Amino acid sequence: MAFCFRLAACLLAIVTQQAVAEGDAAAGQAKSAICSACHGADGNSMVPQWPKLAGQHRDYLVRQVTLIKAGARPVPEMVGIVATLSDQDIADIAAWFAAQQMSAGVAKEEDVFAGQRLWRAGDAQSGVPACMACHGPAGAGNPLAGYPALAGQQQVYVANILKRFRAGENWGDKDAPSHVMNGVAAELTDDDIKFLASYIQGLYLVED
């Protein structure tokens, strides 16, 4: 009988842990109200310096909020907000935003050729790798490797974060993707960043 109770307790713990990991999108909708001022009610931010969260990979969102809460990723504007969030809250909010659809963006026509070249082929001369190697040809990202979806993302936000990566900012020894981005962004020029950020914002328009 004692074994049965222990087994039941273990199974309950596993189910509970899985529920936290997956999150509840319906619960997340209500909890996400505090996020809407910057990121939009459905995760489509209307403020260009704040990223769109709609359609982003759930585990990526959980990871980023957890990094911010731990102080590893510096986002001063979010410190007071995330401090009170439990693991379940974070999982629920991430599930809500992940279930939404990112709104379309537009690339400047004059930026598309250079941006597309960098995205698809990189720059062998300067050592910049192709962005699509990690983020996919259409910018859908790679959730298993921890690389976010980028297609349609805010141009201003992308440019800002690339410049921060170029300057050496990363999110701690345990966050390998941000260290990868330090190397990727190291040789990007200001023009490269402008072209890429514009291209990424309108990526849905120029990819098959």
In sequence order, the 6+-apart residues with CB closer than 8 A to the CB of 63 are: 146, 175
Q: Residue 150 falls within a domain, yes or no?
A: yes
Are 115 and 88 in the same domain? no
Is the Cβ–Cβ distance between 138 and 191 less than 8 Å?
no
Amino acid at site 86: S
For residues 137 and 207, the answer to whether their CB atoms sit within 8 Å is yes
Q: Out of 60, 76, 98, pick the residue that ends a domain.
A: 98
The answer to whether position 133 is within a domain reads: yes
Listed residue (172, 194, 45, 36) closest to 115, CA to CA: 194
Task: Supply the pLDDT for residue 205.
Answer: 56
Which range marks the domain in which residue 61 is found?
Answer: 22-98
When pLDDT is cut at 50, 70 and 90, the band that residue 204 belongs to is confident
Number of domains forming the structure of the chain: 2
Q: Are 198 and 107 in contact (CB under 8 A)?
A: yes
pLDDT of residue 26: 97
pLDDT for 3: 37
Domain boundary among 75, 98, 121: 98
Same domain, 70 and 157: no
Banded model confidence at residue 158, pLDDT cuts 50, 70, 90: very high
Distance between CA atoms of 33 and 42, rounded to whole angstroms? 10
